[in-house]
Amino acid sequence: MVANQESSAAAEEPVAPAAGTAAMDPMRLASRWRSPAEWEAAAAEMDAEPAPSELNTTNSSGLFAVVSTDRMSVRYLGVNQHGHDVGVVQANRPAPTHRPVYYFEMAVKNAGHKGQTSIGFTTENFKMRRQPGWESNSCGYHGDDGYLYRGPGKNEPFGPKFTSGDTIGAGINYFLQEFFFTKNGSLVGSVQKEIKGPLYPTIAVHSQDEEVTVNFGNEPFCFDIEGYIFEEKMKQQSVSDKLFLQPDISHWIVRSYLLHYGYQDTLNSFDMASETDPPSNHQNGYGEPPEMYGLSHRKSLRQLIMSGDIDSTFKRLGEWYPQVIKAGQLEDAVKYARSNLAKFLTHKAFDGLLKESVALLAYEKPAESSIGYLLEPPQREFVADAVNAAVLTTNPNLKDPESCLYSCLEKLLRQLTIQVFLIKVFKLHLHLSSELRDETLCRSLRKGVHLGVDRVYRDSMRHVQQTQLILKFRRILFSLYKVNTKLRVTG
C-alpha cells in the first residue's frame, strides 16, 4: 500500500518552494561524516584524561614526611609536637572526571606511635600541614578514630579505625556525587560530595614511624572496584527501566525513520509483518508520519546513488523534481561547494570524504565528473541523504523544514544528547546506560577499526552475562583473599 503513494505525489504540480525551504542546507548533514581519524582523535582526547600516577613530591610538607624514591610511599619523619606537624601528600594529578567512578587505595605499612594516618580528597590549594578533612574543601577518613572529617567542626563516627596491615580505599562515585571509603576490600560507607573543582587523592601521616604506600591502580586493588561500578550501573539502569513508555512508540519511530530515508523495501516488509503479528497492532493514535512524500522516488534515487550511478541520479532528479536542480537547494549546496571548495581542499581536518562529495555536487553535468565513480559507500550515503533531504523540501505540505534533515529518531537522539550533557553541567546524578557508554564499542572505534558490528556486539553482550557470574565468583575469591591476608598477617 505504501508503494502506490508516490504516484499521486509526483503527479502534483511542483509548487513554488515553501517559504522555509531556503533554510534547509543539506551540507548540515556533513557533520555526520567525520572521518574515522577524526572520531579516533576525539575519542583519544576524551580517553587521554590524565589520572594520578604517583605522589607529588614538590608540594608535600618536607619537614614532617619523606616520600620514597619511587614516589609511592610516605614515611613520617621525627616526632610530632602538635596539630600542625602533619605530613600531607597529594597525588601528582587530580582525580579524572570522565568516568563513572574514580578510586585509589593506601596500605598502612606502619601505624607508628599514634596511628594517625588518613586518606581522602583535597583541592589544589589545600594547606599542606593539615589532615584531609580538617579544612574546608577537603574530606578524609582517619585511622585513629575511624571518623569522617569534612571541614572545621564537621566530623562524625563513620567506620572502623585502621592500623598496620590494613588497606584503605577512597573513591568518588560520579553517578551519585558521593565520596566512598573502603577497608580491606569492604565498603565502609559513603558521603555526599559537596566540594567542587579538581580533587586530589590525598594521604597523611602524623606520628613517629607512620608509613603508608599508595596504589593508583598499577597494582590490583584490594576492593572489587569493577564489581562496585557494575552494581552501580545496574542500579541506575533499573531506575529508568521502570519508567512508563507510550506503547508501541519505538515501533512508530522506527517506521518513520524508514519513511524519512526512503528505505521503502524495509518499510513494506515491516508493515506486512506488523499486520500479521497479533501483538503488534501498532501505530494506533499516532497518525501517519509526514515523510510519505515521494517515497518510491526517494528510494530509487538512493538506490541509484548507492550503486554509484550518479549520471542517472541527476537525470531522474531533473525529471521528477526539476525545482531541486533548477532553483532548489542542491544548487545552493553546489554554489556553497564551489566557493568553499578551495578551503576544504586545504582544510586537513575535513579529510577526503566530504570534499569529494561536495566536488561531486559541484559538477553541473555529472556525466563529465571524473570523481563520480570514486565515491565509496559512506560518501555515497552522504550524497543520498542530501538528495533525500532536498527532495523532501519540495513537499508543498511541508511545515517544518528541519524535518527534511532529521528523522524523528535523530531529533530525539539530539535532544537526549543535550539533556545528558546539561545534567552533567548541573551536577545531578548522571545516569549512564550501557547505550551511552558502551565501552566495547568505543574501544573498537578508538582503534579506528569498524569491526564487524556483530562481533563487537556479541562480545559486549556476552560480557554483560558473564559479569553477573564473575561477580559471584569474585565475591568468593575476595573472601578467600581476605582470609589469606589475615593468615599472613597473623601467621
Binding positions for other proteins, 340-379, rule CB under 8 A: 377-378
Strand partners, 169: 105, 182
User: Which of these ranges, 51-59, 167-175, 365-373, 441-449, lies near other proteins under the rule CB under 8 A?
Assistant: 441-449
Query: Closest separation between CB of residue 339 and other proteins, Å?
Result: 21
Restricted to residues 84-103, the positions that interact with other proteins (CB under 8 A) are 98
Nearer to other proteins, 272 or 342 (CB): 272
Of 313, 481, 448, the closest CA to residue 36 belongs to: 448
- Alpha-carbon span 378 to 75, nearest angstrom: 60
Query: Closest separation between CB of residue 62 and other proteins, Å?
Result: 36
Among 22, 32, 62, 83, binds other proteins (CB under 8 A): 32
Restricted to residues 400-429, the positions that interact with other proteins (CB under 8 A) are 400, 407-429
Of 276, 279, 259, 278, the closest CA to residue 267 belongs to: 259
User: Which of these ranges, 223-231, 248-256, 314-322, 366-374, lies near other proteins under the rule CB under 8 A?
Assistant: 248-256
- Alpha-carbon span 372 to 357, nearest angstrom: 9
Query: Closest separation between CB of residue 263 and other proteins, Å?
Result: 5
Restricted to residues 173-202, the positions that interact with other proteins (CB under 8 A) are 196
Nearer to other proteins, 428 or 477 (CB): 428
Nearer to other proteins, 93 or 429 (CB): 429
CB atoms < 10 A from the CB of 230, how many? 18
User: Which of these ranges, 6-14, 88-96, 186-194, 250-258, lies near other proteins under the rule CB under 8 A?
Assistant: 250-258
Among 11, 48, 243, 469, binds other proteins (CB under 8 A): 243
Q: Residue 22 corresponds to which amino acid?
A: A
Strand partners, 139: 121
Sequential DSSP letters for 374-427: G--HHHHHHHHHHHHHHHHTT-TT---THHHH--HHHHHHHHHHHHHHHHHHTT
**Residue 56: left (phi > 0), alpha (psi -120 to 50), or beta?**
beta
Restricted to residues 93-152, the positions that interact with other proteins (CB under 8 A) are 98
Q: For CA atoms 156, 134, 142, 78, give the dihedral sign.
A: negative
Contact 187, 173 (CB under 8 A): no
User: Which of these ranges, 172-180, 201-209, 299-307, 468-476, lies near other proteins under the rule CB under 8 A?
Assistant: 299-307
Among 97, 125, 269, 307, binds other proteins (CB under 8 A): 269
Percent of the chain that is helix, strand, coil (3-state, to 5): 45, 15, 40
Nearer to other proteins, 239 or 489 (CB): 239
Residue 55 is classified by DSSP as B
Query: Closest separation between CB of residue 177 and other proteins, Å?
Result: 13
User: Which of these ranges, 30-38, 152-160, 202-210, 320-328, lies near other proteins under the rule CB under 8 A?
Assistant: 30-38
- Give the DSSP H/E element, type plus range, for residue 47: helix 36-47
Nearer to other proteins, 7 or 269 (CB): 269
User: Which of these ranges, 182-190, 203-211, 333-341, 449-457, lies near other proteins under the rule CB under 8 A?
Assistant: 449-457
Contact 395, 5 (CB under 8 A): no
The answer for residues whose C-beta is within 8 angstroms of residue 205's C-beta and 6 or more apart is 64, 65, 74, 75, 76, 86, 87, 112, 116, 117, 211, 212
Query: Closest separation between CB of residue 224 and other proteins, Å?
Result: 24
Size of the site for other proteins (CB under 8 A): 92
Query: Closest separation between CB of residue 116 and other proteins, Å?
Result: 35
Query: Closest separation between CB of residue 201 and other proteins, Å?
Result: 23
Enter the C-alpha cell of residue 106.
Answer: 593506601
Q: Residue 472 interacts with other proteins (CB under 8 A)?
A: no
User: Which of these ranges, 110-118, 174-182, 240-248, 338-346, lies near other proteins under the rule CB under 8 A?
Assistant: 240-248
Restricted to residues 37-66, the positions that interact with other proteins (CB under 8 A) are 39, 42-43, 45-46
Beta strands in 163-210 (DSSP E): 167-173, 178-183, 186-192, 200-205
Query: Closest separation between CB of residue 151 and other proteins, Å?
Result: 19
- Give phi and psi for 176, each to the nearest 5: -100, -5
Enter the C-alpha cell of residue 150.
Answer: 569534612
What's the chain's length in residues?
Answer: 491
Among 50, 153, 157, 278, binds other proteins (CB under 8 A): 278
Nearer to other proteins, 170 or 456 (CB): 456
Contact 201, 134 (CB under 8 A): no
Query: Closest separation between CB of residue 95 and other proteins, Å?
Result: 18
Of 16, 86, 103, 12, the closest CA to residue 51 belongs to: 103
Nearer to other proteins, 10 or 442 (CB): 442
Query: Closest separation between CB of residue 338 and other proteins, Å?
Result: 24
Enter the C-alpha cell of residue 11.
Answer: 503527479
Nearer to other proteins, 364 or 402 (CB): 402
User: Which of these ranges, 1-9, 128-136, 178-186, 254-262, lies near other proteins under the rule CB under 8 A?
Assistant: 254-262
User: Which of these ranges, 32-40, 130-138, 390-398, 475-483, lies near other proteins under the rule CB under 8 A?
Assistant: 32-40
Strand partners, 91: 55
Among 336, 363, 457, 481, binds other proteins (CB under 8 A): 457
**Residue 362: left (phi > 0), alpha (psi -120 to 50), or beta?**
alpha
